[in-house]
Amino acid sequence: MKWGIIATWRMALEGITEVSRDLEKGLSAADAIEKAIMAVEDYPFYKSVGYGGLPNENCEVELDSAFMDGDTLSFGAIGGIRDFKNPISVAKKLSEERFNSFLVGIGAEEYAHKNGFERKNMLTDKAIKYYNDRVKETLEKGLSPYEGHDTVGMISLDIKGKMCVGTSTSGLFMKKRGRIGDSPVAGSGFYVDSEIGGATATGLGEDLMKGCISYEIVRLMAEGCHPQEAADRAVEKLNQKLIKRRGKAGDISVVCMNNKGEWGAATNIDSFNFVVAGKDQKPAVYLAKNVDGKTIYQPATKEWLDAYEKRIENSIE
Ligand code: GLY
């Protein structure tokens, strides 16, 4: 039987490599998503997810996460949770609830506490330094503090044909307290239906939500589009609509997979990357960019991968 897994950004490579071996042996799509996203959340030097994620304007790390089961369409989501180690595990647990499956702030924290999830101070010294530097820069230069955002979003297909999707993010650096982006919002940051396929997004949440982009991609796949065509069409349509109506579009990048393990990726920026693995494909990083309204991608070169690792090593010192 086929299996597959695809995720936004190079940061997912280690987690995907680990769970790939187990997916081959029968690991469920749900456990694969949780385990692989936990690996990203636990790694202290990724600045946009979990431990080490950059804080809001009050220097607090508020995390958003979601999990969806493509067989039952159940989803769990949390927004603005503080001081819990693995938001994806809380979201996955919430997906078992018939009611109250999307919780924010104190409600999410109470739920996590009652269900025994591990607490952790998620604000690192490095994140505090980034915060102090950005405050200074923003005040001195009058800059907008907001840029694009690198959320980890991941879709898996297991050998029984079940599909799941998960997301995890610290949201926009310097966001307002309580701001929630697309990542925990069903249809925008994620969507999956095992009878069709799944999609997940990264970029500027405020713009991604304007197009309910993940649902749109799954809808296009249901109409018969190959995942690549669905991703290209959905991203280009939203990008053009935002430019026409608002003068510009924020960062929009997506990955998707159908229930045959075929996949696609699309972006409106010039430096998106993603990771994919499957029955016939070893875990690989691809570099994607938008050229004249179309996404092109190629496997990352050894030079690119080495430079990435060096950057991460330097940030450890
Ligand atoms: N895409 C993540 C966010 O905007 O929070």
Q: For 26-76, what is each residue's pLDDT tens digit?
A: 999 999 999 999 999 999 888 899 998 989 999 999 999 999 999 999 999
pLDDT 10s digits, 156-201: 999 999 999 999 999 999 999 999 999 999 999 999 999 999 999 9
pLDDT 10s digits, 81-121: 999 999 999 999 999 999 999 999 999 999 999 999 999 99
Distance between Cα 131 and ligand 1 center (Å): 18
Structure-derived torsion over alpha carbons of residues 221, 227, 231, 233, reported in degrees to the nearest 10:
-60
What pLDDT does residue 135 have? Answer: 86
305 touches 275 (CB < 8 A): no
CA separation for the pair 256, 30 (Å, rounded): 16
Pocket of ligand 1 (CB under 6 A): 149, 151, 169, 171-172, 181-183, 202-205
Reduced to 3 states (helix: H, G, I; strand: E, B; else coil), residue 192 is strand
Which residue out of 124, 151, 200, 295 is catalytically annotated? 151
Helix (H) or strand (E) holding 68: strand 63-69
List beta partners, residue 168.
65, 152
Distance between Cα 203 and ligand 1 center (Å): 6
Distance between Cα 62 and ligand 1 center (Å): 12
CA separation for the pair 285, 302 (Å, rounded): 10
Long-range Cβ pairs for the range 283-288 (8 Å, 24+)? 283/13, 283/16, 283/17, 283/20, 285/10, 285/13, 288/253
Reduced to 3 states (helix: H, G, I; strand: E, B; else coil), residue 63 is strand
Determine the average pLDDT of the residues in 245-267.
97
pLDDT 10s digits, 22-34: 999 999 999 999 9
17 is catalytic: no
